[in-house]
């Protein structure tokens, strides 16, 4: 039976004094127009039906708070890449319908995000009303952080609240430009993301283990370098593991290797080991010659991958090794799958690690879109302490880099509005 996750001490330390920006509950928003930047960039099927509404649900605490406080709630988001012009494939109209169902109240849908028609709809709003603006990226000025476009957005509201952590690493008009014009605060989701990701990395309950996977070393080097004096164990899987193995002088068949990262991988591995950090690489793997369904697969030691074959998942011995390494940990951060888990033949390693993380008696944090999907498919999402909604944003934060969408918000040190 799944053991309950002990969260009291871990969570308290994770969130203590991390966010130095105003949050929505610092604002007096009753009767005010509150522009809330959300991340409703949800996936659709071919019939334009939403296949996963978790990003909408993640914003519900902030939206419901604003409604309960009597604000006039203006929601804005991007969706996909419409390339700066209206495209019905990227309309937020289906999102408005789903949001209306989740809120159990009317949601006004605006045909644009700026302009006289939008201003007219907002002018007729009453306290507690909700309006969702059409896709911000229908205007090319959004991604350019255009000053005039930012002013047009700011003209719609009295306060700005950023609850779109998934877009916080973008310096766009709706994340940065508007925040420089209006009194600005973090929403509850943004606050929670920062508190968990930054708080745990800065002040983890030890032993602290980081599991890193995915295709490329280049995408995780910044994370490894930032964690090198904070983490106790590093477990590396996925395609990126084979750049490390190649750097150690071993053959890896046709497995993914970033040739220009071999020297860097070797330097990082030696630096971590010299610092006394336990560094784990796969000891066996599932190999195939192709990703085609029904293709022959084998389980072999990672140092015995034949020519013409490629590693596409970690093997059972690695699962056991990694799982045992996690058993005594108190904090686990996981970013990146262990293999090509979207294909059944190469999913067992990732799903097994997901189960091991879920079973750990620790504060567990999952970051990155692929890892989020993996824990949901493994059926253990409810047993994870925190699942980040941001891929690029979470990586940037874990690298210790500033998030423009967070930096632009009003400092808490300033007088509360």
Of 186, 215, 239, the position where a domain reaches its end is 186
Could you give the CA distance from residue 82 to residue 90 in angstroms, rounded to a whole number?
A: 6
Could you give the CA distance from residue 43 to residue 10 in angstroms, rounded to a whole number?
A: 33
Q: Residue 202 pLDDT more than 50?
A: yes
Q: Are 174 and 199 within one domain?
A: no
Catalytic hit among 84, 128, 392, 400: 392
Helix ranges, 168-254 (H): 188-202, 221-227, 241-247
Q: Are 105 and 219 within one domain?
A: no
Q: What is the CATH number of the domain that holds 206?
A: 3.40.50.1260
Please name the residue that has the structure tokens 């053991």. 3
Q: Residue 19 pLDDT more than 50?
A: yes
pLDDT at 12: 36
pLDDT at 96: 98
Q: Are 225 and 162 within one domain?
A: no
Total structural domains within the chain: 2
Could you give the CA distance from residue 385 to residue 87 in angstroms, rounded to a whole number?
A: 38
Asked whether residue 232 is assigned to any structural domain, the reply reads yes
Catalytic hit among 70, 80, 128, 369: 369
Please name the residue that has the structure tokens 């056991």. 320
Assign 288 a pLDDT band (cuts: 50, 70, 90): very high
Q: Residue 11 pLDDT more than 50?
A: no
Asked whether residue 410 is assigned to any structural domain, the reply reads no
Record the pTM. 0.88
Compute the mean pLDDT over every residue in the chain, rounded to the nearest whole number: 92
pLDDT at 237: 97
The verdict on whether 392 is a catalytic residue reads yes
**CB-count exposure of residue 111 (10 Å: 0-12, 13-18, 19+):** middle
Could you give the CA distance from residue 307 to residue 205 in angstroms, rounded to a whole number?
A: 43
Q: Are 331 and 381 within one domain?
A: yes
Catalytic hit among 216, 271, 278, 320: 216
The verdict on whether 416 is a catalytic residue reads no
Number of H helices, E strands in the chain: 15, 15
Question: What would the two tokens of residue 25 be?
Answer: 């509950």
Q: Residue 228 pLDDT more than 90?
A: no
CB 368 within 8 A of CB 396: no
CB 242 within 8 A of CB 265: no
Total Cβ atoms within 10 A of residue 249 = 7
Asked whether residue 242 is assigned to any structural domain, the reply reads yes
pLDDT at 263: 95
pLDDT at 18: 61
Lowest mean pLDDT among 136-150, 324-338, 362-376: 362-376
Asked whether residue 407 is assigned to any structural domain, the reply reads no
Please name the residue that has the structure tokens 């690298």. 399
Asked whether residue 73 is assigned to any structural domain, the reply reads yes
pLDDT at 369: 67
The verdict on whether 166 is a catalytic residue reads no
pLDDT at 67: 98
The verdict on whether 192 is a catalytic residue reads no
What average pLDDT does this structure show over 308-321?
Answer: 97
Lowest mean pLDDT among 119-123, 283-287, 394-398: 394-398
Q: Are 259 and 351 within one domain?
A: yes
What average pLDDT does this structure show over 20-28?
Answer: 95
pLDDT at 47: 87
Q: Are 221 and 179 within one domain?
A: no
Catalytic hit among 21, 32, 33, 55: 55
Assign 398 a pLDDT band (cuts: 50, 70, 90): confident
Q: Residue 267 pLDDT more than 90?
A: yes
Q: Residue 416 pLDDT more than 80?
A: no
Strand blocks (E) in 237-341: 278-280, 284-288, 297-301, 310-314, 331-335
Could you give the CA distance from residue 285 to residue 301 in angstroms, rounded to a whole number?
A: 6
pLDDT at 175: 98
pLDDT at 257: 94
Decide: helix, strand or coil at residue 365.
strand
CA distances for 406 relative to 22, 191, 367, angstroms = 10, 10, 18
Q: Are 134 and 226 within one domain?
A: no
Q: Are 127 and 217 within one domain?
A: no
- DSSP label at 114? S
Buried residues in 371-397 as b, exposed as e (16+ CB within 10 A): bbbbbbebebbebbbbbbbbbbbbbbb
Q: Are 228 and 139 within one domain?
A: no
pLDDT digits (tens, 9 = 90+) for 65-116: 999 999 999 999 999 999 999 999 999 999 999 999 999 999 999 999 999 9
pLDDT at 399: 87
Asked whether residue 168 is assigned to any structural domain, the reply reads yes
pLDDT digits (tens, 9 = 90+) for 126-145: 999 999 999 999 999 999 99
Asked whether residue 135 is assigned to any structural domain, the reply reads yes
Q: Residue 119 pLDDT more than 90?
A: yes
Asked whether residue 17 is assigned to any structural domain, the reply reads no
Could you give the CA distance from residue 159 to residue 154 in angstroms, rounded to a whole number?
A: 8
Residue ranges making up the domain that contains 246: 194-398
Q: Are 137 and 207 within one domain?
A: no
Assign 8 a pLDDT band (cuts: 50, 70, 90): very low
CA dihedral of 317, 318, 322, 325, whole degrees rounded to 10: 50
Assign 414 a pLDDT band (cuts: 50, 70, 90): low
Q: Are 211 and 343 within one domain?
A: yes
Q: Are 147 and 198 within one domain?
A: no
HSE, side-chain direction, 13 A CA sphere, residue 292:
5
β-pair partners for 387: 366
Residue 23 sits at φ, ψ, to 5 deg, of -115, 165
């Amino acid at each position: 039976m799944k053991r309950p996750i002990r969260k009291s001490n871990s969570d308290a330390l994770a969130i203590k004094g991390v966010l130095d920006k105003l949050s929505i509950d610092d604002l007096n928003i009753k009767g005010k127009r509150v522009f809330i930047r959300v991340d409703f960039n949800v996936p659709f099927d071919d019939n334009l039906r939403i296949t996963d509404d978790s990003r909408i649900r993640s914003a519900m605490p902030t939206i419901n708070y604003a409604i309960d406080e009597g604000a006039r709630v203006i929601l804005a988001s991007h969706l996909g890449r419409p390339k700066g012009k209206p495209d019905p494939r990227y309309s937020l109209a289906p999102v408005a319908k789903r949001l209306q169902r989740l809120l159990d109240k009317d949601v006004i849908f605006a045909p644009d995000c700026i302009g006289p028609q939008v201003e007219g709809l907002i002018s007729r709003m009453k306290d507690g009303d909700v309006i969702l603006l059409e896709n911000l990226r229908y205007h090319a000025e959004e991604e350019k952080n255009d000053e005039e476009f930012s002013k047009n957005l700011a003209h719609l509201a009295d306060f700005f609240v950023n609850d779109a952590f998934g877009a916080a690493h973008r310096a766009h008009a709706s994340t940065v430009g508007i925040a420089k014009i209006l009194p600005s605060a973090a929403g509850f989701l943004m606050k929670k993301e920062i508190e968990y990701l930054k708080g745990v990395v800065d002040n983890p309950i030890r032993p602290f283990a980081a599991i890193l996977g995915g295709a490329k070393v280049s995408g995780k080097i910044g994370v490894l370098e930032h964690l090198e004096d904070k983490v106790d164990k590093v477990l590396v899987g996925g395609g990126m593991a084979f750049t490390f193995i190649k750097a150690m002088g071993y053959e890896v068949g046709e497995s993914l290797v970033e040739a220009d990262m071999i020297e860097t991988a070797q330097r990082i591995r030696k630096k971590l080991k010299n610092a006394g950090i336990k560094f784990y690489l796969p000891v066996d793997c599932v190999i195939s010659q192709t990703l085609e369904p029904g293709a022959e697969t084998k389980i072999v030691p990672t140092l015995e991958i034949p020519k013409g074959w490629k590693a596409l998942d970690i093997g059972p011995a690695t699962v056991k090794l990694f799982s045992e390494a996690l058993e005594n940990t108190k904090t686990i951060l996981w970013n990146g799958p262990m293999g090509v888990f979207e294909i059944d033949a190469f999913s067992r390693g990732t799903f097994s690690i997901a189960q091991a993380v879920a079973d750990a008696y620790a504060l567990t944090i999952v970051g990155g879109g692929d890892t989020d999907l993996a824990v949901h498919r493994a059926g253990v999402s409810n047993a994870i302490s925190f699942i980040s909604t941001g891929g690029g944003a979470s990586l940037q934060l874990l690298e210790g880099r500033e998030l423009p969408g967070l930096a632009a918000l009003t400092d808490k040190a300033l007088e509360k509005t």
